[in-house]
């Protein structure tokens, strides 16, 4: 079933929760196979994207709520990351709460103390915004469940993703396992620009024990934010070509995830990663996020694959880190052939 924005708007709650209350939740990170790059309106994607949800890299969030005498115009909150008060993060979170107010009007009746910690090091260059906003969206839906009459599981699943999207686009895909598709695609049922869905096909067994080993080539904050990168797509000379590619790739990727065609999966995954960075290198202004070591690792992966036929490939997000994707049954072999040769910290995650 398709939901509209209207379906997610709610009015006054029918119940009250006993405060002070505490909600404790976690949400996973995800890695895109077909990339979301370019957006319009209120966090609507230029094209559909497909991702694997990761299991180990997560954000754990605890929210402590206390009742306010009067519901305010803006949400009153404090944000702590890894036990430290982080006012720098508050403008982005405040923007999120503002955007979602009509879909969750009850939030402003409380003061929020938000305590988050990531299972991956904060300075690892791994995006924490996807898992971070997905965790906040889950908390809001937990509250909605307590305050309003029961809705269907489908409504809650889609609304979690819908709210998460309003914090950060890729967060829309951090709300369910193991694969999510975000963005309307005419040939894929139930897809929407408003939220991500779990596709209705069965993921082929070859992907069920899939790994993502993340090589931390660069641990600092990204030099160009994803939001700035998305904006450069508006006047990008290859905008229309990219759009067409991403629609085609989403359909093809869905097919390979269903049939388990690893050779085609590898070819397409790497093509998407390189295309994303090619778009950055051809925007105006252009920029390069890959580092010499990113390329060295890419060459090493390709050289090992050509020599041994092992089904290993790479993808990249908007940074210099390399995500190495492979089936779990070749992990021991890759340890000696590949990981031992890489002189950076590696986070071994799985789908
Ligand atoms: C390259 O979701 O971080 O990782 O919506 O502005 O918060 P905002 O951007 P963000 O962009 C992620 C871009 C990407 C590709 C992807 O995850 O699909």
Instruction: Quote the ligand 1 centre to 230 CA distance (angstroms).
Output: 8
| Nearest one of 294, 288, 246 to 271, comparing CA atoms | 246
Three-state SS string over 5-18 comes to CHHHCCCCCCCCCC
pLDDT digits (tens, 9 = 90+) for 269-280: 999 999 999 999
CB 35 within 8 A of CB 154: no
Q: What are phi and psi of 294, to 5 degrees?
A: -60, -50
Is 272 near ligand 1, meaning CB less than 6 Å away? no
CB 207 within 8 A of CB 220: no
Q: DSSP for 247-292?
A: HHHHHHHHHHHHHT-HHHHHHHHHHHHHHHHHHHHTSSS------H
Instruction: Quote the ligand 1 centre to 127 CA distance (angstroms).
Output: 9
pLDDT at position 127 over 80: no
Helix (DSSP H) and strand (DSSP E) numbers for the chain: 8, 13
Is 29 near ligand 1, meaning CB less than 6 Å away? no
| Nearest one of 294, 276, 184 to 229, comparing CA atoms | 276
Give the model's pLDDT for residue 207.
97
| Residue owning the nearest CA to atom 7 of ligand 1 | 168
| 116-120, 138-142, 169-173, 281-285: least confident range | 116-120
Instruction: Quote the ligand 1 centre to 180 CA distance (angstroms).
Output: 14
Point out which residues pair with 324 in neighbouring strands. Answer: 213, 314
Is 129 near ligand 1, meaning CB less than 6 Å away? yes
Integer Cα distance of 279 and 229 in angstroms: 9
- Three-state SS at 346: strand
Which atom belonging to ligand 1 lies closest to the Cα atom of 171? Answer: 2
pLDDT at position 123 over 70: no
CB 148 within 8 A of CB 15: yes
Domains of the chain: 6-197 (3.30.230.10), 205-350 (3.30.70.890)
Which atom belonging to ligand 1 lies closest to the Cα atom of 276? Answer: 1
| Residue owning the nearest CA to atom 4 of ligand 1 | 317
| Nearest one of 186, 198, 203, 189 to 154, comparing CA atoms | 198
Instruction: Quote the ligand 1 centre to 66 CA distance (angstroms).
Output: 33
Q: Which one is predicted more confidently, 72 or 203?
A: 203
Q: DSSP for 85-122?
A: E-GGGHHHHHHHHHHHGGG-GGGGGEEEEEEEEESS-G
Best residue among 48, 51, 170, 274 to mutate for probing ligand 1's pocket (most ligand atoms within 8 Å of CB) is 170
Instruction: Quote the ligand 1 centre to 276 CA distance (angstroms).
Output: 11
pLDDT at position 125 over 80: no
The mean pLDDT value for 199-211 works out to 96
**pTM of this structure:** 0.96
pLDDT digits (tens, 9 = 90+) for 228-253: 999 999 999 999 999 999 999 999 99
């Amino acid at each position: 079933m398709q939901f509209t924005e209207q379906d997610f708007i709610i009015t006054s709650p029918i119940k009250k929760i006993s405060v002070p209350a505490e909600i404790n939740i976690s949400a996973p990170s995800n890695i895109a196979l077909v990339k979301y790059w370019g957006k319009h309106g209120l966090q609507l994607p230029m094209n559909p994207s497909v991702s694997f949800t990761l299991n180990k890299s997560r954000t754990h969030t605890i929210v402590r709520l206390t009742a306010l005498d009067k519901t305010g115009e803006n949400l009153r909150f404090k944000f702590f990351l890894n036990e430290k008060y982080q006012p720098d993060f508050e403008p982005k979170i405040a923007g999120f709460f503002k955007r979602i107010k009509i879909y969750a009007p009850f939030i402003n009746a409380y003061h929020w103390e938000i305590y988050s910690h990531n299972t991956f090091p904060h300075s690892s260059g791994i995006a924490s915004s996807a898992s971070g906003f997905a965790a906040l969206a889950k908390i809001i839906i937990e509250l909605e469940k307590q305050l309003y009459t029961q809705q269907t599981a489908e409504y809650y699943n889609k609304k979690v993703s819908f709210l998460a999207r309003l914090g950060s686009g890729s967060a829309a895909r951090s709300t369910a396992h193991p694969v999510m598709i975000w963005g309307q695609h005419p040939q894929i049922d139930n897809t929407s620009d408003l939220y991500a869905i779990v596709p209705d096909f069965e993921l082929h067994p070859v992907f069920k024990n899939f790994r993502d080993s993340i090589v931390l080539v660069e641990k600092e904050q990204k030099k160009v934010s994803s939001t700035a990168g998305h904006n450069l797509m508006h006047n990008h000379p290859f905008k229309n070509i990219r759009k067409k590619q991403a629609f085609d790739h989403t359909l093809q990727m869905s097919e390979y995830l269903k049939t388990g065609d690893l050779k085609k999966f590898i070819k397409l995954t790497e093509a998407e990663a390189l295309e994303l960075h090619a778009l950055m290198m051809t925007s105006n202004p252009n920029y390069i996020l890959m580092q010499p070591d990113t390329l060295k690792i890419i060459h090493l992966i390709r050289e090992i694959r050509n020599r041994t036929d092992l089904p290993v490939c790479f993808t990249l997000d908007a940074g210099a880190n390399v995500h190495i994707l492979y089936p779990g049954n070749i992990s021991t072999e890759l340890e000696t052939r590949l990981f031992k040769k890489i002189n950076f910290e590696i986070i071994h995650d799985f789908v």
